[in-house]
Amino acid sequence: MAVIITDLCINCAACIDECPVEAIVDEDENPTGGETYYVYADKCVECVGYHDTPACAEACPTEGCIQWGEVVDGMPSSDNRKAAGTPVVD
């Protein structure tokens, strides 16, 4: 599973260095061509084994920019996760 960065992202860079597995890239490296930061679902471990709550979302200054995403087979998932589309931090 993974978290996703939505269009609410203001490209502030607060999240990128908090990720323990380097799953986040900035707008220049967003593979979708989007103008926001981006989380690689095949790298994100939802901070399992590192933090109780995803560190990127804890660091993000927006309201609800970082949301829970869809299930990714074979990837760790947080016991605290909510439904896809739900903000990680309200």
Query: Which residue ranges make up the site for ligand SF4 (CB under 6 A)?
Result: 3, 5, 9-15, 18-21, 23-24, 37, 39, 44-47, 54-56, 59-60, 62, 65-66
Pair 54, 3: CB distance under 8 Å = yes
Amino acid letter, 31: P
Angstrom distance (rounded) from CA 73 to CA 82: 17
Q: Could you tell me the smallest distance in angstroms from the CB atom of residue 10 to ligand SF4?
A: 5
Residue closer to ligand SF4 (CB basis): 45 or 87: 45
The H or E element that residue 56 is part of is: helix 55-59
Residue closer to ligand SF4 (CB basis): 44 or 87: 44
Q: Could you tell me the smallest distance in angstroms from the CB atom of residue 30 to ligand SF4?
A: 11
Q: Could you tell me the smallest distance in angstroms from the CB atom of residue 16 to ligand SF4?
A: 7
Q: Taking Cα atoms as reference points, which of 72, 75, 76 lies closest to residue 51? A: 76
